[in-house]
Structure 1
Amino acid sequence: MTTTAADRKAAEELKAEGNALFTKGKFAAAIEKYTEAVTLSPDWPVLYINRGMAARKKGDWERVEADASLALGLVGGASESREAMKGHYLLGLAMGQRGQHERSKHHLNKALEAAREANDSIKDEIWRELAAANYSNWQTETAARKTTNSALRRQLLELMGKQQGDPLPPEWEALFRAASWQDTATEAPSQFTCPLTMEIFRDPVVAPSGRSYERAALLEHLKKVGKFDPITRQPITGGEESLVPNVSLRAAIELFLEEHPWGWGEVK
């Protein structure tokens, strides 16, 4: 079906009506408007994204998954587009609701990468959702490992003729401790936490002083406190343009979280 100029104009009007209804919290009515627009302009990916966003508010994850997939099918290789970013984001959320954690992480990571590239404000929201998905996955996996380890411990005690609750020989206890290192939460290294938020970095930037801060926290400081470094007091006159993304630190944190997934629970 070829979309005519008249159809596109009518679809734009319906989209605007849907957006107004969405803003008012009338999500079912917004979905109806977006659906009408889709019938007129089925090749316009933003309509599926908007309808998916409204469906998310209603908890209709089947609709979210379907619309996100349709939008991504339309944008094709244009992975840098805002529709692609939001499509991956919505699909990641839908996969998470279905318990498909690996697929969820894949799509949320693609959305986060695109949002960071565009410096889109949604990147913090995507990061938090990714953190929640990873932490939930770790909780599931660690519970399974603990169950397995408990069963193995019981079997060993029975084979040794011991009672439940009795200690195992030191060498066996050491093996169990070594096997459970990934399931034991500790404290994240201080170099991975922002001195302003005291939380694990999401988007670290380097100030002219050479110190790293969470981008949003430093920008808030510059706006509300003063145009100077929070620690060194060195002037920062260039605004956001003078802040350099700390790509190396971000990569190190991502590696740390991959190896210590309990750390996702500290991401806010």
Structure 2
Amino acid sequence: MVATAAKQAEQLRLDGNTYFKKDRLGAAIDAYTEAIALCPSVPIYWTNRALCHRKRNEWTRVEEDCRRAIQLDHHSVKAHYMLGLALLQRKEYAEGVKELEKALDLGRGANPKGYMVEEIWQELSRAKYLAWEHESTKRSWELRNLKDTCEAALKEKHFLDNCGDQGAVDGTTQSISEQLKALDRVFQKASEVDTPTEVPDYLCCKITLDIFRDPVIAPSGVTYERAVILDHLQKVGKFDPITRETLYPSQLIPNFALKEAVRAYLEKHGWAYKMD
């Protein structure tokens, strides 16, 4: 009886996959739901249904199915990945980032060169920027309110200190002006961490123009993004794309100094990219 149910559930999964490929999402969901009813302890049935809900932008259902899949299999890359995306939709940025990081770690362990690793990486980068943007906006409002409060308190203090002392008005006015300018400089400095800056050219790959994640240096002295230069050597030819000198993968050496420089830059500017 159990074997029969498992066989039926697996056939329903295959049917659901066929419907999904044809973009018949309703039929696919029905097939996966029937498979779940027969064998609720199989995590892939839950993640497959979650994928259908994702295509429909039904994020609450995506979250529910992914949480169930994770209960059954803590190492499900797809479950952690889609749960992360669902949490981002609810603006739960911190939790969403955690789930995407978990998915990325699991994906790297299972298949480092798989398509999902790059897809997860891109979503994680976007999620971390959204998290930074959300927090920076919150801090900006808090700083603005605090600055207004400080200015009001400073003006009130000077008014009370000099109330009735008409002879000190000119000196007081000058003192208030100077202190308000000093206060403005303090808050301007405090807000710099939330001001996006352009990444210096030397921290970017010369091929993609994107910031380095895993820089490697060639014998020519030129540094490239590892995945990009390896792809070039495999598909284009065994030569340095800039100097045109002969180049083999074994000649590439990790550029730890530049990698550390990138990490330091990103941390300083509040960008929480995860280095390889």
Which TM-score band applies after superposition, normalised by the shorter structure? 0.7 to 0.9
Out of 66, 69, 82, the residue aligned to residue 68 of structure 1 is 66
Distance in 1 (alpha carbons) for counterparts of 2:34 and 2:56: 19
Distance in 1 (alpha carbons) for counterparts of 2:15 and 2:132: 42
Distance in 2 (alpha carbons) for counterparts of 1:87 and 1:229: 40
Write the letter of the residue equivalent to 2:233. L
2:106 is aligned with 1:97: no
CA-CA distance at 1:189 after TM superposition = 3.9
**213-222 or 37-46, which moves further after superposition?**
213-222
Write the letter of the residue equivalent to 1:155. T
Change (3 A) 1:63 1:246: farther
Q: Does the Cα contact within 8 Å between 2:203 and 2:258 map onto a contact in 1?
A: yes
Report the 3-state secondary structure (helix = DSSP H, G, I; strand = E; otherwise coil) of the residue aligned with 1:206: strand
Write the letter of the residue equivalent to 2:130. S
CA-CA distance at 1:252 after TM superposition = 6.2
- Which residues in structure 2 correspond to 1:112-151 (within 5 Å)? 112-117=104-109, 118-119=111-112, 120-151=114-145
CA-CA distance at 1:250 after TM superposition = 5.9
Normalised by the size of structure 1, how large is the TM-score? 0.78
| Sequence identity percentage | 38
Q: Does the Cα contact within 8 Å between 2:233 and 2:248 map onto a contact in 1?
A: no
CA-CA distance at 1:251 after TM superposition = 7.0
Q: Does the Cα contact within 8 Å between 2:217 and 2:254 map onto a contact in 1?
A: no
Computing the radius of gyration from Cα coordinates, the structure with the larger value is 2
**148-157 or 204-213, which moves further after superposition?**
204-213
**181-190 or 222-231, which moves further after superposition?**
222-231
Write the letter of the residue equivalent to 1:233. R
Distance in 1 (alpha carbons) for counterparts of 2:54 and 2:260: 31
Structure 2 spans left out of the alignment, 5+ residues:
156-172
**Which digits, 9 at most, give the CA deviation of each residue in 1:114-140, with x for residues without a partner?**
223321221221122112222222222
Change (3 A) 1:150 1:207: closer
Write the letter of the residue equivalent to 1:153. K
CA-CA distance at 1:35 after TM superposition = 1.1
**Which digits, 9 at most, give the CA deviation of each residue in 1:20-62, with x for residues without a partner?**
2212222222111111111222222111111111111111112
2:208 is aligned with 1:214: no
CA-CA distance at 1:155 after TM superposition = 3.0
Partner residue in 1 for 2:28: 30
Write the letter of the residue equivalent to 1:7. A
Normalised by the size of structure 2, how large is the TM-score? 0.76
Report the 3-state secondary structure (helix = DSSP H, G, I; strand = E; otherwise coil) of the residue aligned with 1:9: helix
Count residues in correspondence.
Answer: 250
Q: CA RMSD in A?
A: 3.0
Q: Does the Cα contact within 8 Å between 1:134 and 1:261 map onto a contact in 2?
A: no
Partner residue in 2 for 1:233: 244
Out of 18, 40, 47, the residue aligned to residue 20 of structure 1 is 18
